[in-house]
Every structure is written in C-alpha cells, then in structure tokens.
Structure 1
Amino acid sequence: MPDTSRQTHAATNSLAQALISDPFYRSVTVACGDDAAARLAMLTTYFELALVEGFEAGRVDLADSAGNGAAIWTTNTPLPLRQAAYAQRETALRELLGPQGFANFAAIVENMEHALAQHDLQHAWYLSIAGIAPEAQGRGLGASVLAPGLAAVDQAGAVCFLETYNERSLPFYGRLGFEVAGRHTEAITGADYWLMLRQPVRAAMPD
C-alpha cells in the first residue's frame, strides 16, 4: 500500500462530500442522526478504510493531484487476499458505524448480493466506489478517474459492473459503455438502485 499522503487524505474527504446524500451512506451513518458534520467525519473514515482495502487487494485511482475524488475497484486479485482485506475492513466498520449502522451495512450488502446472484458475476470486476468533490465536478474528472480502471478491465478481458442509487448518473455511465441490467428496490434504504454491466472493449485488429 502506498504511504499515506495529503492527496489520498483529500480524496477520502472528497468522496465523503460527493456521497453524503447517497441512501446507502445515509443508512450506514444512522448513528450521526441529523448532524451533517458528524456524518461527513464518519464517511471520511469509512472511505479511508475503503482505500486501504483497495490498495491492498484491488485497484485505486485518484482523480488528480489535489485529491478531488477517487475510484475504487474490486479486481481479479486472488480471492484469499480479497477476503482477508474485506474482513479487516469489516472489523473496523463494526466499530466505526455502531451497532445499528453496521447492521444496516451488513443487511444492505446481503440484499444487493442476493440481487446480483442471477447475473453470474463471480469473475467480474466491481466499481465499488466512485466520486468527485462537488466543487470539482463538471471538469471531466469523473470520466478521467475511471479511464485507467476501464482500460485495465479491457486488458483483462473482464466484465465489470456497478450499482448506483443516483438515476441521474445513468447517462454518464452509459457513455462509458455500461448498460442497465436491472432496477431494484433495497429494503433497508427504501430506495431504488440500478445495476449496470459493461462488456470488455476489444481493440480493433489492424488491417
């Protein structure tokens, strides 16, 4: 894992700002009540843990040198390494989120994994977290932070997928080659989310 730096620390704060209103993250930070500052602080730590997991057993791309966002992927890293990194994060989340927040986290993850079961995605890459700081949006950073990961997916010849609670993001991901594969209502959040899949893009053979 790279040394902790100002850039990665800034990226965790950017992710927290970008995703603070997301139904999933509101549900897992329920211990904060209506305290927006406490929720932002909790989410910043949440994303610090996610970055550690990504650096150890997945892929992390930072949006720019100022840390205005990041993309975190689950990749084709060997399964035992992924499981160990996830278990380590899960232990830390249990303490961070509190009993109800962690119970919500576990239930939402289980619900979403159940919905995935019909799609045979065991070997797919997963774009688990992506976000750009609100003040830095509109500059093309969203597409640029995803480009290296998508190139790696294509090189591996793998399918990739994501889940989003933000219907307005569907056209953005569509331009990157993702297609809606399902719409589900998640019971804990009470909100709809969309599953999107992307087939690998193969370079055209030279004439």
Structure 2
Amino acid sequence: MPVTVKTVTGATVTPEERTSAKRVLVESFLSNPEHMALWAHSSAANTALNERYIDYALDAGHELALAQVDDGAVAGVAIWVRPGEDFMPEGQRPIIFKDALDALPAGHKAFFLNDLWPVSGDMVESVLPNAEHEWWYLPMIGVSPSAQGKGVGKALLGAKVAQVAATTGGTPARGPRAIALYTESPGNIAFYNKLGFALRAHQKYDLPSGEVWENMFLSYPADAAVGAA
C-alpha cells in the first residue's frame, strides 16, 4: 500500500484532516485491548480521550504526522513533540482530559488521579531523566484497523527515524538525535525493535478491574542518552 506522510500543525491543518485524525486515533485504540483495559473498556472515554489528544496537540503547536494512502484518505496519525518542548504542562492532564475521566467508573477515575498519573513519570526519570523533554517525543500513534499490517505505522515512524538518523552528532545520540515513546502493548515491541528502538524501562500496574496494565518506554537509537555530551 503506497503511503505518503504529511506533517501539519494547528496553523496548517484543514478541518477535514483534523476530523480524520480524530477518527483514526479513536478507531485505532478502540481495537487495542490493552488500552481499552486501562480505560475501563469505555468507548465513551476512548473517544473523548483521543479526540482531545488531537485538538490539544494541534492547539498547543505540536506536529501531527498524517499517513495518507493512495486514495488520499488518512489511515494513520502520529503526534510529535519537538526536542526542548513539553507535551503538556505539569499536572494539567486531569483538566485537559476531564471528559475522558468523567466517562469512567468512579474507582477507575480515582486510579488515574491518585495512583497512575502522580507517579507515571517516575519510571523514566529514574533511568533517563528528562528524556521526554530533550528528545523527540511520540505521545500517540495510531493506525486505522483496516490499514494495520500494511506498512502505515512503519511509514509514520520511519519518516521521523530517517530525520533523526540524518542529524549529525556524537555517540551516543542525544537531544534531536533521539526519540522517546511509550507502548502499552507487549506485542508492539518487536515492531519497534525492527525500526531500531530498544526497551529502556518497563512497569506493571494492577487496574481496579483486576486486569494488569503495562507501560513500556523505548528509545531510538538503543543507546540514546540525556544531558550534555
């Protein structure tokens, strides 16, 4: 399947592209069992969350990469945060994602507010402090279920990997020569490994439902570092 990657911002995105990006992200995560477990299997929460991700990212000035297939339809989307920037202000997630939280059962909402979000950054900070801020950061990537397994995700990530790989500098890679991302799906690790990413941190959480949710942090390249060279 031929795939073209187009990068837009809040200043350049069309209303149709914004709507398509929301649809793709919502559909992608609705079909992701690990993600849906985290969000109490609530389709309403998933929709509110992912639509808000797109609006927030564009309105905050971050990059949105759109994977367009041969008929021009958007089949994949990735949010990119530039090195030196933060995705969202500290402590603002409960406000930004209020509608998604309000769609959850009370116990699950409390889990996010009291157990997960207050400590979610500790895992990475303990091994690679400030990596999300110093490197390119990918908070969200999604591919339409009908386009999965057809090279769309590879095209989305590969475009940024190629950009980062072409940036000159020393070894190990730092700053704009590195990428940070998380995945909640163990089955995705092999896909990321093939593109040169390596697992750097891994944590498990017991959900209120009794299910277990995993949070895995990966870097490109495998030896990416933080701080002054």
Match of 2:192 in 1: 173
Given the superposition, is the C-alpha separation of residues 103 and 70 from structure 1 closer, same or farther in structure 2, using an over 3 Å criterion? Answer: farther
Match of 1:204 in 2: none
Given the superposition, is the C-alpha separation of residues 112 and 184 from structure 1 closer, same or farther in structure 2, using an over 3 Å criterion? Answer: same
Are 1:31 and 1:97, in contact at CA under 8 Å, matched by a contact in 2? no
Match of 2:101 in 1: 97
Matched, 1:120 2:125: no
Match of 1:185 in 2: 204
Matched, 1:197 2:219: yes
Give the C-alpha shift of residue 97 in structure 1.
2.2
Per-residue CA deviations over 1:153-197 (Å, capped at 9, x if unaligned) read: 443633222221212211110111101113221244622332211
Letter in structure 1 aligned against 2:136: W
Provide TM-score, normalisation by structure 2. Answer: 0.69
Given the superposition, is the C-alpha separation of residues 102 and 4 from structure 1 closer, same or farther in structure 2, using an over 3 Å criterion? Answer: farther
User: What's the secondary structure of 1:52's corresponding residue?
Assistant: helix
Matches of 1:57 and 1:86, distance apart in 2: 19
Given the superposition, is the C-alpha separation of residues 63 and 124 from structure 1 closer, same or farther in structure 2, using an over 3 Å criterion? Answer: same
Matches of 2:49 and 2:205, distance apart in 1: 21
Match of 2:172 in 1: none
Match of 2:50 in 1: 47
Matches of 2:88 and 2:120, distance apart in 1: 18
Give the C-alpha shift of residue 92 in structure 1.
3.7
Aligned-residue sequence identity (percent) comes to 19
Gap runs ≥5 in structure 2: 1-9, 168-174, 224-229
Matched, 1:10 2:20: yes
Higher helix share: 1
Provide TM-score, normalisation by structure 1. Answer: 0.75
Are 1:14 and 1:67, in contact at CA under 8 Å, matched by a contact in 2? yes
Given the superposition, is the C-alpha separation of residues 182 and 42 from structure 1 closer, same or farther in structure 2, using an over 3 Å criterion? Answer: closer
Matches of 1:194 and 1:162, distance apart in 2: 8
